[in-house]
Amino acid sequence: MRRLLVVAAGLLSWCGLAHAQGFPTHPITMVVPFAAGGPTDAIARIVAEQMSKVLGQQVLVENALGAGGTTATARVAQAKPDGYTIVMGQMGTHGTAPAVYPNLRYNPVTDFAPIGMATLAPVLIVARKDLPPKDLKELIAYAKANASKLNEAHAGVGSISYTSCTLFNAAMGVKITQVAYRGTGPALNDMLAGQIDLMCDQVVTYVEQVKGGAIKAYAIASSERSPALPNVPTTKEAGLPNFQVMAWSALFAPKGTPPEIVAKLSGALDKALDDENVRKRLTEQGGIVPPKADRTPAWLQAFVKNEVERLTPLLKAALAAQK
């Protein structure tokens, strides 16, 4: 009986390995939990295109919206763990969501098989082009005097832009009306039309509009200037040193995805990020390609745990300060 069980276990693991070796045999769906045209979508499309080439199968991007990205992320957590449904999670869905959704239908740390970090991106403070303040110091004074007249857009409660705006407001000591969108792509369109005053979001997708003068950038919330926008000062230079946010986007499969399949996806992401054209497209938009050592599933697993622990008290304190 024991021998039979050993043989059966061996057969099962051989079948699993054989299945993983053939992976992928059909297209993979990469879920983006925010609207098309926003930073998460832009990063996902650049990475998916190159991963398709590496894997020899299409990686199709599917935008699925709602609740600051948590609706679609929950769907992926519950998807069949076969590697064919993965999510481009990010600092909102996998870092700050637990702080603001008491009934979140997934645990970012335990309900996923991390694949790897895709891109880091500092947060940029942007405004409609005709907002009167000329620099960050003027903006802070203006916000204090006109808080009730200003609005700021975000991509849903818990998203990167929501967290960044909340931290920004707390750092300035003002309360500004927040307008929720299902992604900052549509929010940027409304800013271009003059309906939205302010946004704090990961820099990716704002660079061209800032360079072209269609919107204005007050500061980048990082310790160093972004090579993509070298004329935009850091928050430290501009007078708000305590407001610094480094956003990130990373790929996750559902928990239970076979390790061999996770390794294939992770290897494809790693190769995609080594591609010169991918690196150029990401860095031109202000993204930071993670170093090789920070692209592994194990690194991402530890990072997400740390981010949830770091960001939860930070966001809760900023929200409490806004009450």
Residues 214-253 that bind ligand MLT (CB under 6 A): none
Distance (Å, rounded) from C-alpha 247 to C-alpha 203? 9
Task: List the one residue from 30, 31, 39, 86 that touches ligand MLT (CB under 6 A).
Answer: 39
Partners of 133 in the β-ladder:
none
Is-contact 253 262, C-beta < 8 A?
Answer: yes
166 binds ligand MLT (CB under 6 A): no
Among left, alpha and beta (phi > 0; psi -120 to 50; other), residue 56 is left
Distance (Å, rounded) from C-alpha 283 to C-alpha 270? 16
Nearest distance from C-beta of residue 37 to ligand MLT, angstroms: 8
Is-contact 178 150, C-beta < 8 A?
Answer: no
Two tokens, residue 206: 């704002």
Span of 12-20, 52-60, 70-78, 157-165 interacting with ligand MLT by CB under 6 A: 157-165
Q: Which is nearer to ligand MLT, 193 or 293 (CB)?
A: 193
Span of 12-20, 33-41, 101-109, 169-177 interacting with ligand MLT by CB under 6 A: 33-41
201 binds ligand MLT (CB under 6 A): yes
Task: List the one residue from 155, 196, 219, 245 that touches ligand MLT (CB under 6 A).
Answer: 155
Q: Which is nearer to ligand MLT, 57 or 283 (CB)?
A: 283
Task: List the one residue from 24, 95, 183, 290 that touches ligand MLT (CB under 6 A).
Answer: 183
Residues 86-145 that bind ligand MLT (CB under 6 A): 90, 92
Q: Is omega for the bond preceding 27 within 30 degrees of 0, making it cis?
A: no
Go through the chain and tell me how many residues it has. Answer: 323
160 binds ligand MLT (CB under 6 A): yes
Is-contact 155 161, C-beta < 8 A?
Answer: yes
Residues 253-272 that bind ligand MLT (CB under 6 A): none
Q: Which is nearer to ligand MLT, 258 or 286 (CB)?
A: 286
Is-contact 184 154, C-beta < 8 A?
Answer: yes
Span of 109-117, 130-138, 180-188, 219-227 interacting with ligand MLT by CB under 6 A: 180-188
Q: What beta strand segments (E) does the chain contain?
A: 28-32, 59-63, 85-90, 112-128, 151-154, 177-180, 198-202, 215-220, 246-254
307 binds ligand MLT (CB under 6 A): no
Interface size with ligand MLT, residues (CB under 6 A): 18
Task: List the one residue from 24, 28, 31, 34 that touches ligand MLT (CB under 6 A).
Answer: 34
Is-contact 289 279, C-beta < 8 A?
Answer: yes
Is-contact 150 197, C-beta < 8 A?
Answer: yes
Residues in contact with ligand MLT by CB under 6 A are 34-35, 38-41, 90, 92, 154-155, 159-161, 183-185, 201-202
